[in-house]
Structure 1
Amino acid sequence: MYKKISCMGGLLGLTFALTLGTAHAQDYNLKLGHTGAPNHHFETISTQYADLVSERTNGHVKITTYPSDSLGKQTELVEGTMIGTNDMVLTSDAVLSNMVPEVGVINLPFLFRDSEHVRHVLDGKIGEELAERVKAQGAVVIGWWENGFRHVTNDKQPITRPDDLKGMKIRVPEGPVFVETFKALGANPTPIPFSELYSALQLGVVDGQENPPAHILTQKFYEVQDYVSRTGHIYLSSPVLINRTLFESMPAEYQQILLDTGREMAAKHTQLVLAQEDEQWREIAAMGMEIDDVDKGPFVEATRPVIDKYRQVFGDDLIDRIQSTP
């Protein structure tokens, strides 16, 4: 009898061990969509992230990237990631702010001094607090990746002062801070999905748009725009989200790898973007666009009421903490 019990115990132990091993070795095949073109840095950094995650999980977590909104439009993907119909998305904080309003603080005009300031804020306590707000809506922030400071293009005239924007129809992302900012500058802000922007410019639905140089180049906006002004008026981050339920169903080891690698790639993404921008501006000029640098002072002054208004929304403390971060 003793031998039978001992044998049975051994079999149960072996079965339990095999079950645990099988659970841990489960494969996860995830889809990550983004709006960048195949030659945009979004695809470069997403692919690098996918490769590192696969390597660090011994191939058990595989991420397939889908550029150019081929998996769906940004708003659809963000909402899908929150409710579980989509795995992952590399999006913009402007789109995310429609579901998590607090994230819109990142887009306040002239809030950040430079890219180093951005990294200190988003990779620190404030970034963690904003990520908790996102988590409450059903998604985990894998990392605050890079998009960059934005600049205005148009097909009408050079823009060197706020008055040059008066009455001009400018496409903005689907985020309320962008609308308020361009109203303050005297423009007529028009939210249009990014995937529809080129045709909107081509057909004259809007006169101009605002984006970092990578999008101006890879989306070929130079074909339908003549002027670009380096205003650097708003910074846009690119949070990477994963569905919370999916994330929490994974082994803790895989969760940590996704988070640690995401944080690592955030800093790398910023450096990648900064390294590319000088060459991108040269290419934009070579494509025939007139590039104008501006005195930012009048633009800062014109948009100051936007920050004052949003102090009532986000609170003095949060805005002051961002501005005072070294």
Structure 2
Amino acid sequence: MRKMIVVLASLAFLGLAFSGGAEAADSYRLKLGHTGAPSHHYQTICTLFAKKVAERTGGKVQIDVFPADQLGKQLESVEGVMVGTHDMVLASDTVLSNWVPNMGILNLPFLFNDLSDVRKVLDGPIGARLAKELEPHGAVVIGWWENGMRHVTNNKRPIKTPDDLKGMKIRVPEGEVFVETFKALGAGPTVVSFGELYSALQLGTVDGQENPPAHILTQKFYEVQKYASRTGHIHMSSPLIMNKALLDGMPQEYRTAILETARELGPVHTKMVEELEAEQWKEVKAHGMEVIDVDKKPFREKVKPVIAAYKKKLDASIIEDIEKTLQ
């Protein structure tokens, strides 16, 4: 069904019949959705993006920002951007891997040591290559923004080694790499949508979850979780995507303003996240969670088979190029 929907992307727009609606031939009002809470840094960076685009276009391109999945859950919103019922969404590489499997490479466990590694990869030819693979599906990656390294929280016991994860139900997002990674670590990965995660933790449907500290705070996971282990096991990037027909149909000066602004804000967002996280971990502790720093070496050893398997399953040359870039 999904493939049938995406095939219709080329028919989504006729003339100026965009989802956001063109107010006039040279004026546009667009909608940008994201999954973060209104207090999340997604809202901050999206609002900054809208402000800068409006400034660069003399107010001719206005972007309204909708947090907390107000325009639909992330999977639905990504589909909407592809077919033209949505203008823009701050997505995740994990969700995009449903259409572009190679996007899943970016979620391989312990591929990146830190956020500077991520920028080296995504701001270069590898990021451009992965972005290009999305375009046949009707969407364009206009910027690689930031989510952060992911860390495990749970309500049962401190996680210091992979053995501590055995038998534990850990919520993961939709994405095969996440499932395989936590299977390799001995846990029971369970896919739950982000909007339903708090309830799943509260009801005990899952024992724990994995996310950057911003989500622990803004989603108040500290109310239903006792332990946070700073594993930094997987990085999830936040590609900002836009409907291709909509972008292509805009005057060149507007396209340039949108693309340049989105790309310039990638490193800005990364720096923002780095600075925020230093304070966010203090807040997590202040809310009563026990924060544990782990030795990552045994975790890395456990997931080596996952990376080896994906070198056979996905484009091994991209994985090897990333490894070479980060040597």
Distance between the aligned counterparts of 2:113 and 2:204, measured in 1? 34
Name the residue aligned to 1:126. 126
Q: Is the 8 A contact 2:23 2:29 kept in 1?
A: no
Structure 1 runs of 4+ with >6 Å offset: none
Cα distance in 1 for partners of 2:290, 2:37 equals: 23
Map Cα deviations across residues 268-291 of structure 1 (whole Å, 9 max, x no partner): 000000011111000000000000
SS in 1 for 2:157: coil
Counterpart of 1:265 in structure 2 is: 265
The CA distance in 2 between the partners of 1:29 and 1:316, in whole Å, is 41
- 1:191-246 deviation digits (Å, cap 9, x = unpaired): 11101100110011100000000000111000000000000000000000000011
For this pair of structures, how many residues does the alignment match? Answer: 305
The farther-off stretch of 91-100 and 38-47 is: 91-100
Distance 1:313 1:149 in 2: 24
Cα separation, 2, equivalents of 1:30 and 1:90: 13
Q: Is the 8 A contact 2:36 2:42 kept in 1?
A: yes
Distance 1:185 1:55, change over 3 A: same
Structure 2: how far apart are the matches of 1:291 and 1:238? 25
Which residue is equivalent to 1:180? 180
Name the counterpart of 1:204: 204
Indicate how the Cα distance of structure 1 residues 23 and 197 shifts in structure 2: closer, same or farther if over 3 A, else same.
closer
CA shift for structure 1 position 24? 9.1
CA distance in 2, matches of 1:271, 1:247: 28
Q: Does 1:55 align with 2:55?
A: yes
Equivalent residues in 2 for 1:127-276, closer than 5 Å: 127-276=127-276
Equivalent residue, structure 1, for 2:87: 87
Deviation at 1:314, TM superposition (A): 2.0
Q: Structure 2-normalised TM-score?
A: 0.92
Measured in 2, the distance between the counterparts of 1:166 and 1:319 equals 29
* TM-score w.r.t. length of structure 1: 0.92
Counterparts of 1:84 and 1:102 in 2: how far apart (Å)? 23
Matched residue type, 2:108:
L
> Do the aligned partners of 1:25 and 1:60 also contact (CA within 8 Å) in 2?
no
Q: Aligned AA for 1:38?
A: P
Cα pair 2:102 2:315 within 8 Å, conserved: no
Rg larger in 1 or in 2?
1
CA contact 1:169–1:189 (8 Å) conserved in 2: yes
Identity of aligned residues (%): 62
Contact 1:112/1:323 (8 A) holds in 2: no
CA–CA separation in structure 2 for the residues paired with 1:48 and 1:315: 35
3-state secondary structure, aligned to 2:269 = helix
2:4 corresponds in structure 1 to none
The equivalent residue for 1:7 is: none
Describe the SS at the equivalent of 2:134.
helix
Unaligned runs of 5+ in 1: 1-21
Match of 1:318 in 2: 318
Equivalent residue, structure 2, for 1:298: 298
Unaligned regions of 5+ residues in structure 2, if any?
Answer: 1-21
Q: CA RMSD, aligned part only? A: 1.3
Find the aligned partners of 2:33 and 2:82 in 1 and give their Cα distance.
14
- d(CA) in 2 for partners of 1:281 and 1:223? 15
Letter in 2 for 1:285: K
